Structure 1
Amino acid sequence: MRKKQKKIIREQLDDTLSRFSTIASVNRPMKGWIRAIRDALGMNMRQFAERLGVSKSRIPRIEHDEITGSLTLKTMNRVADKLDCVFVYGFVPRTSLDDTVRKQASIIAQKRMNRLMHTMSLEAQGLSSKNVKKAFNNMVEEIIDSPSMLWEKDK
């Protein structure tokens, strides 16, 4: 895929994901969403178990597994449906995807520049700070344009 297409795709996904940024700050209730919603609906464990088609003894386990993060997505979907809810699952980036890519490219470029500057100093060659900055910025753009190297370890 060409670099412009990748950038457009990143921007479109950023736009979509930005709508979820407020959700990232919502804290899960201490007893979990399942228990909180079940209690708010006035549904006891027996009633909830009947709706889910499981034994009453399974309900505390489901609620516990949600809190510990071990409840499967399939079960979360099923539980949400029986609580007349929609289960929402997704990732909310801390920054834009473009910023994440640029930050990673800058890290790689800085490592490369450090090696390059060391080699040049050994050969008694030097660059002006303006040229160093220009070379660094060019390197960042080159890395962004070659995403296969972006996430390689120690490059």
Structure 2
Amino acid sequence: MSDKIEANLKIAAAMRAVRNALGVNQEEFAELIGISKPTVARVETLEVSMKLEMYTNILKKLKKMGIKVDTIYSDSVHVEFEPRALEILRENLADASKRRQGRSQTGIGIESDRYHKLSMPIDSLPEAGTLESLKSPKKK
């Protein structure tokens, strides 16, 4: 496999991994990282190459959200969610309104800050945050 194809494959894998972990569709992910939905789709399916400047900007935006992505310095793809991003992800996973229709879940296991396992019905969890809190503040 050529270096260019491998680089694009790693970028596509990283974008899909982050998007899926966030639980958002391509349109929502595009809005979150500041590119168009068709660009997300084309990059994820290897129809186009990601321009270096655009990729660098996406990595910076993700890092501000607490998500580190490395596809350059290793043969592997590394995605790291810092504690701030993980807390927001936990809250979003607990939000029943964000689940696909027809899906039901009677309980969830959550590691609490007090280092003990807590298992409770999903309906008794506190109101969850939104992905809005992951976004960087808009410049004025």
**Same fold per superposition (TM over 0.5):** no
> Which TM-score band applies after superposition, normalised by the shorter structure?
0.3 to 0.5
What is the TM-score of this pair, normalised by structure 1? 0.31
Q: Which one scores higher on RCO, CA 8 angstroms, separation ≥ 6?
A: 1
Structure 1 or 2: more helix by fraction: 1
What is the TM-score of this pair, normalised by structure 2? 0.33
Structure 1 or 2: more strand by fraction: 2
Structure exhibiting the larger radius of gyration computed from Cα positions: 1
